[in-house]
Amino acid sequence: MDSHQNVCALAWNENLVQLAGGSNIRLRYESQPDAVHPFGTWPSGRYGGEVSSHRDLEPAAITLSDEDRRLVAEWAADCAQRVLPLFEVKAPSDTRPREAIEGARAFALDGKRTAQLRSLALAAQSAAREVGNPVAASAARAAGLAAATPYTHALATPHQSKHVLGPAVYQVQARELAAGNDPSVGDEEMHWVIERASSTVREVVRRFPARSPGRTRLATLYYQLDGALRFVKPCAPG
C-alpha cells in the first residue's frame, strides 16, 4: 500500500473550526493518531510532546527541502496576489509588492535563492511601512513575506513557522481591515487560504511546533491557520 493509500485508509472526521468572528468554517480532515483538536495541544508522539510554551523548546532541525520551499512559495504568492489590489489602489506607482510576488513565483519555478530575491522581500516590507494605510500595509507585508519564504530555515521554531504562515495571515488581515475589521470577512478569507494549501504546505506546517494562542488579532490568525493546516484534505474518490 503506498503512502497515498495509507492516508486514505485512515478515518475521516468532520469538524467545525470555530473562528473569532463567531461563524464556523466546516472542514473535512483526516484524524491524526496523536492529534486532539485543530486548535488544541499535541500529546506525546509525532509532534514531539505537548507544547504549552515555545520558550521552553530547544530548536531542533527538521526536514525542509528546496522542493518544499518552492511549493510553499507558490501558495504564498497566490495569497499575496489576491490582496495586491488593496495596496495598488493606495499606491499605484509603487511596484515593490508586485515585484516581490513575481520574485516568489520565479523561485517557485526554478528554486534558486538569490540576493535579488531577498532585496525584493525587504523592499516590499519598506513599501508596507511607507504607504500610510493599514489595509495597504498588510497587503504589502503579504507580498514581502511571500518573497521571504525561500529563506525559511529548517528549525522547529515558531519564528520559522511564521515564514510559512505569514503571507496567508497578512492576506486575511488585509481583507478583514478592508471590510472595516469585520471578522466574518476574515473567516471567509481564512477558508480560502486553507482550501488552497497543498498537501505539501500542510505537511511542512506540521513539522514545526504547534502555535499557541496570542492576545492580538494577528496572533489569533496565526493560531487559527496553523491549527487548520495541521490536518490534510480528504482524498479524491478512487
Say how many Å lie between the first and final Cα of the chain, rounded: 14
Specify the pTM: 0.75
**CA torsion 144→152→41→33, rounded to 10°?**
120
Measured distance CA(121)–CA(196) in Å, rounded: 23
The three three-digit cell numbers of residue 127, written as one number: 513599501
Q: What is the pLDDT of residue 213?
A: 87
Measured distance CA(7)–CA(235) in Å, rounded: 8
Q: What is the pLDDT of residue 114?
A: 86
- Number of Cα atoms under 13 Å in the Cβ half of residue 172: 27
Q: What is the pLDDT of residue 232?
A: 56
Q: What is the pLDDT of residue 45?
A: 31
Per-residue pLDDT of the chain (238 residues; tens, 9 = 90+): 444 433 333 322 333 344 444 444 444 333 333 333 333 333 333 333 334 444 544 678 888 999 999 999 999 999 999 999 999 999 999 999 999 999 999 999 987 888 999 999 999 999 999 999 999 999 999 999 999 999 999 998 888 999 999 999 999 999 999 999 999 999 999 999 999 999 999 999 999 999 988 899 999 999 999 999 997 554 554 4
The three three-digit cell numbers of residue 214, written as one number: 496570542
Q: What is the pLDDT of residue 30?
A: 37
Length reported for the chain: 238
Measured distance CA(72)–CA(221) in Å, rounded: 18
